[in-house]
Amino acid sequence: MSRLRSLAGLFFVVTALSGCDQVNTMLNKQQANGKAIGAACRHSGRALEDCFSRNPKVAKSDIFAGWKEMNEYMLAKKMDVVPSSSEDCGPDPDDKKKAAPEQHNTSAASEPAKDGE
């Protein structure tokens, strides 16, 4: 009977430890993703604050660690910033101004008075 309890206890410990590995793997992936985001922001010349605001769900410490590592690497290798081809990945705000027709106020109060009226 004691042998069965020992096996059950061993099974429980092994199962619990394998769960810890899965949790650690998940946390390491999140940290690696944050570091990758920070490195990409630095490589593209984006400010650290912009990187934080664009990725609010990612830990700031992970973003900063990646940004700092890439900054040190770029300084050591004398690399230039590589700007992204689509900065905001959205429509150009100037396009809205060009596309929207100008609206003229046609009310009688805004028109100049004509002679004879």
- For residue 42, name the pLDDT band (cuts at 50, 70, 90): very high
User: What is the rounded distance in angstroms from the CA atom of residue 29 to the CA atom of residue 52?
Assistant: 18
* Between 101 and 42, residue with greater pLDDT: 42
**Per-residue pLDDT for 24 more than 90?**
no
* Between 50 and 85, residue with greater pLDDT: 50
Please write the tens of the pLDDT for every residue from 54-83.
Answer: 999 999 999 999 999 999 999 999 999 988
DSSP string, 46-90: --HHHHHHH-TTS-HHHHHHHHHHHHHHHHHHTPPP---SSSSSS
pTM of the model: 0.57
